[in-house]
Structure 1
């Protein structure tokens, strides 16, 4: 019986387990491609594994909203799917972004409609260290030719 960790990608998000302080930098209106005004705010987050390690959930709490992420690994396809919901859009679950990690960078994409416009969505995860991961969201309104970052989160592990 082998106890080796599978190398198919299912462990790529294991760094996220635990409690975090989160420094957010976000456009005031991420659905407006012309928005130039940024806000910064702090939040807390906590993530834990589910489904025998093939998924996990995390919750983020800030003064203005509460968010929930469900991530699931599909071992057959070798990809992660990530769903997002928040108290700012009650009753709505965003379509999942899908992707994987290559050379330490996780890139995840989907198509959506925001503010009445078709948009491509990209999430990127990097881990400069296990205790300081970074998440970035960007949208493309020209089918992926150009991307505009509209939200970043810098996480710091809490003991």
Structure 2
């Protein structure tokens, strides 16, 4: 019997996230204006891998906001980096991707986006201390990366076994 070798090039970095999750969201009420007021609400998420770990899809349901979102991630074998695309139910458009990788157990991903028509740099940060909890945050920079404002945090708690 042949054993399947696990490739350790980064394509399995999101394997910890496969499954069902309860999500505590914190969303900054107003971005880019030094606001310190947050909206807090609950949601659910589920993630599944595709193509032996080269891709995965995460579906988010946010009933309190009457919205849903999908993250689609793909792994570039040659560069050993991930690309993450977001689609929101508010407009149905595939957003500009962020790119990056995990190092030392933390994932950092960067890209460019528009915030109400205003160009911004965007950063995603992923961390997980064990397979039952994970954290994602998003930050925008309105000054070419000199300063960053965290505007969305998702705390994930695994549902079931």
Which range, TM-score by smaller chain? over 0.9
Query: How far 1:58 moved relative to its partner?
Result: 1.0
In structure 1, what is the Cα distance between the partners aligned to 2:92 and 2:45? 21
Normalising by the residue count of structure 1, what TM-score does the alignment of the two structures yield? Answer: 0.93
Q: Is the aligned partner of 1:79 residue 2:45?
A: no
Query: Is 1:38 aligned to 2:38, yes or no?
Result: yes
Alpha-carbon distance in 2 for matches of 1:58, 1:113: 22
What is the CA-CA distance between 1:95 and the residue it aligns to?
A: 0.4
Q: CA RMSD in A?
A: 1.3
In the other structure, the counterpart of 2:54 is 54
Q: Deviations over 1:72-98 (max 9, x none)?
A: 11111100000001112x232110000
Q: 1: CA distance between counterparts of 2:54 and 2:28?
A: 32
| Number of residue equivalences | 157
Gaps of 5+ in 1: none
**Which residue of 1 is the match for residue 6 of structure 2?**
5
Partner of 2:154: 153
Structure 2, unmatched stretches of 5+, are none
Distance in 1, Cα, partners of 2:14 & 2:119: 29
- Work out the CA distance in 2 between the residues paired with 1:66 and 1:91: 10
Runs of 4+ with deviation above 2 angstroms: 1-4, 32-37
Q: CA deviation at 1:99?
A: 0.1
Secondary structure of residue in 2 paired with 1:127 = strand
TM-score (norm 2): 0.92
